[in-house]
Amino acid sequence: MNLETIAIILGGLTIGSALMVIISKHPVRSVLYLVLTFFMISANYILMNAQFIAIVNIIVYAGAIMVLFLFVLMLLNLSRENEPKSSIMVKLSAVIAGGTLFTVFIAALKDGVAVAATTATDADSIGLVESLGRLLFTKYVLPFEMSSVLFIAAMVGAVLLAKREKQIIE
Amino acid sequence: MVLATIFQNGVSIEFYIVLSTILFVIGMIGVMIRRNAIILLMCIELMLNAVNLLMVAFSTYFGQADGQIFVFFIMVVAAAEATVGLSILVMAYRNLRTTDVSIFNKLKG
């Protein structure tokens, strides 16, 4: 089995599990299909030699963010199917709008000029921790430090918002 | 272990452009047809991941690591966004006892 076949199978599985996220009625099932989608996307990253991003994707998305979603579903007790259905007109117009956007994006490709892939021999190792870490702490060190400020702001905001209002007033 | 990139083995970049466009459109349709606010946040994560996939594809295609650094920053922003969004949602649920987005129309003028 060559790499092209593997890429096509993985792409099909990714699209299938992403479709199941928006089709399945049960919110917990949606979360689990989204975790599956993230694993498929990580497999695509590994296929593209982006090992560090693949591992970070699994740890951050499937490990942290999705667990957060599951905890909120548990706290709000939304695991039953109580979601009101959208009307068939809304669904139809959403699919038509999405299909139109897809057509526009793909039609924009038609006039694109193809640029050849890189043939550099050291291009295979750019996705490893060594090269990414070197770039992150030299060229992109300022955005890297700024993201810690963003995280502190998000943490303070989340704690403040999730507190009971009674405690805020006192 | 490092293999030769798949773009030197017959897979074209158009394959990943189409794949990530389809993922983005699926996320967008999900935002429009679902009414549970948690599912809406999940569809936004799906759209962010579609963009990440395209960025990694082009980063590998051109042999430059800058795109993967940007994917890293997008993940940072997505984590912060999910945290704040979910805590807003928990607070709204406490006041309104629902996560249906069609109920959240109190800001409408």
Say if A152 falls within a structural domain: no
Of residues A37, A84, A119, nearest to B100 (C-beta):
A84
Query: B100 forms bridges with which residues in the sheet?
Result: B36
Instruction: Give the minimum alpha-carbon distance from A105 to chain B in angstroms, rounded to a whole number.
Output: 7
Residue in chain A nearest B74 by alpha carbon: A147
Interior angle at CA B48, CA A103 and CA A119, nearest 5? 80
The reported pLDDT for the residue numbered B11 is 79
Q: Please report, for the domain that includes residue A26, its CATH number.
A: 1.20.120.1200
Say if A38 falls within a structural domain: yes
Say if A144 falls within a structural domain: no
Angstrom distances, CA of residue A68 to CA of A9, A35, B80:
30, 12, 12
User: How many residues belong to chain B?
Assistant: 109
The reported pLDDT for the residue numbered B103 is 80
Task: In whole angstroms, give the CA distance from residue B36 to residue B40.
Answer: 6
Instruction: Give the minimum alpha-carbon distance from B105 to chain A in angstroms, rounded to a whole number.
Output: 16
Say if A156 falls within a structural domain: no
C-beta separation of B67 from B59 below 8 A? yes
Helix ranges (DSSP H) in chain A: 3-23, 27-47, 51-57, 66-76, 88-109, 129-136, 141-162, 165-169
- All structural domains of chain B, each given as residue ranges with its CATH number in brackets, are 13-96 (1.10.287.3510)
Query: A163 forms bridges with which residues in the sheet?
Result: none
Q: Confidence class of residue B1 from pLDDT cuts 50, 70 and 90?
A: very low
What does the block give as tokens for B59? 């980063």
Write the Ramachandran bin of A114: left for phi over 0, alpha for psi from -120 to 50, otherwise beta.
beta
| Phi (first) and psi of residue A106, to 5 degrees | -75, -35
Q: In the predicted model, what is the mean pLDDT of residues A83-97? A: 86
Say if A31 falls within a structural domain: yes
Say if A18 falls within a structural domain: yes
Instruction: Give the minimum alpha-carbon distance from A59 to chain B in angstroms, rounded to a whole number.
Output: 11
- Domain range for A126 is 3-139
Of residues B46, B78, B82, nearest to A37 (C-beta):
B46
Say if A166 falls within a structural domain: no
What does the block give as tokens for A8? 């096509």
pLDDT in tens, B23-58: 999 999 999 998 888 999 999 999 999 999 999 999
pTM for the whole structure? 0.89
Which amino acid, A19?
L
Which one, of B87, B102, B50, lies nearest residue A153 by Cα?
Answer: B87
Task: In whole angstroms, give the CA distance from residue B47 to residue A34.
Answer: 12
pLDDT in tens, A8-31: 999 999 999 999 999 988 888 999
Cβ neighbour number for residue B20 with a 10 Å cutoff? 25
CA atoms within 13 Å, Cβ hemisphere of B66: 4
Which one, of A153, A58, A75, A19, lies nearest residue B80 by Cα?
Answer: A153
Which amino acid, B9?
N
Q: For chain A, what is the domain count?
A: 1
Of residues A8, A50, A161, nearest to B87 (C-beta):
A161
Do A84 and B35 lie within an 8 Å CB cutoff? yes
Say if A158 falls within a structural domain: no
